[in-house]
């Protein structure tokens, strides 16, 4: 048994950006064909017993209520691609792949919720297909992350090499360094290396904050001045996992799906 969770828009948008040309019908057709081929390949590669494609619903989420500038400067999805999403979702149905989009939360939240509930129900693997670094904080012995485009696993060794911390520290690291694309403030002048250094010394964010007076130089000054925004940033990089998804395991079972090799 295994649960395959596909971060749908992460896959689709990366494919769309890689397709050359203007935002016209031809580009959309290429995106549609390549996206469905990628989903089909993922099913064949991982051969899961259960699978679901998770989309963003769009609109405001709890994170916007928490912090108004959240994602305010994020590049919007091209309108032709947005209009093509129903066709892609219909194609997923033809593969026997269930898809969801939950109002009020992000796809990230729904994915984290699915992983949490699956792990609570049994001891089999969860495979999250995404290149979003936020999911690295979910890594453990049961939850795996797969880079579909490089055909590689993003495991603990990857996190240590790439970010200099353990997966359990990724949420704290993301809060410290912030994210300009998503509008997460973090601490000014603190990048991934500085954030990793602080976490190697102190272990976790609460201890970084409680020892802020011992951090020297401009980093220390920024840290002490920005503690309130740092705590907010930590919430913004977390996942909301208490929203009902309206799913049963039977609904996302692949027992009766169209064979991915067809």
Three-state secondary structure readout of 33-68:
HHHHHHHHHHHHHHCCCEEEEECCCCCCCHHHHHCC
Cα 110-60-173 angle, rounded to 5 deg:
60
The predicted structure's pLDDT at residue 22: 86
* pLDDT tens readout for residues 37-48: 999 999 999 999
For residue 44, give every residue at least 6 positions away whose Cβ sits within 8 Å of its Cβ, in sequence order, or none.
260, 261
Correct CATH for 160-236 of 1.10.150.20, 1.10.10.10, 3.90.1570.30, 1.10.10.370: 1.10.150.20
SS3 97: coil
* pLDDT tens readout for residues 112-163: 999 999 999 999 999 999 999 999 999 999 999 999 999 999 999 999 999 9
pTM: 0.93
CATH topology assigned to domain 2-158: Rossmann fold (3.40.50)
Helix orientation angle between 170-177 and 156-163, rounded to the nearest 10 degrees: 30
Token pair for residue 115? 């992983």
CA atoms of 227 and 154, how far apart (whole Å): 31
For the chain, first and last CA: distance in Å? 22
Extents of the domains making up the chain? 2-158, 160-236
């Amino acid at each position: 048994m295994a649960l395959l969770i596909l971060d749908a828009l992460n896959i689709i948008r990366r494919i769309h950006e890689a397709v050359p040309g203007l935002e016209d019908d031809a580009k959309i057709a290429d995106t549609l064909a390549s996206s469905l081929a990628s989903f089909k390949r993922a099913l064949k590669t991982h051969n899961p017993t259960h699978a679901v494609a998770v989309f963003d619903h769009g609109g405001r989420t709890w994170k916007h209520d928490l912090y108004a500038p959240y994602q305010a400067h994020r590049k919007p999805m091209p309108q032709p691609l947005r209009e093509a999403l129903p066709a892609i979702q219909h194609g997923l149905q033809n593969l026997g792949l269930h898809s969801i989009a939950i109002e009020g939360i992000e796809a990230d939240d729904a994915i984290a919720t699915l992983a949490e509930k699956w792990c609570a129900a049994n001891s089999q693997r969860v495979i999250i297909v995404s290149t979003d670094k936020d999911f690295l904080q979910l890594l453990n012995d049961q939850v795996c992350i797969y880079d579909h485009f490089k055909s590689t696993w993003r495991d603990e060794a990857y996190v240590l090499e790439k970010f200099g911390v353990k997966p359990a520290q990724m949420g704290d690291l993301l809060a410290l360094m912030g994210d300009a694309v998503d509008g997460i403030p973090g601490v000014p002048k603190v990048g991934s290396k500085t954030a990793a250094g602080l976490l190697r010394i102190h272990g976790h964010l609460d201890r970084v904050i409680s020892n802020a007076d011992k951090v020297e130089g401009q980093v220390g000054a920024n840290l002490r001045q920005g503690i309130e925004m740092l705590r907010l940033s930590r919430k913004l990089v977390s996942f909301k996992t208490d929203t009902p998804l309206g799913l049963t395991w039977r609904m996302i079972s692949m027992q009766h799906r169209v064979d991915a090799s067809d």
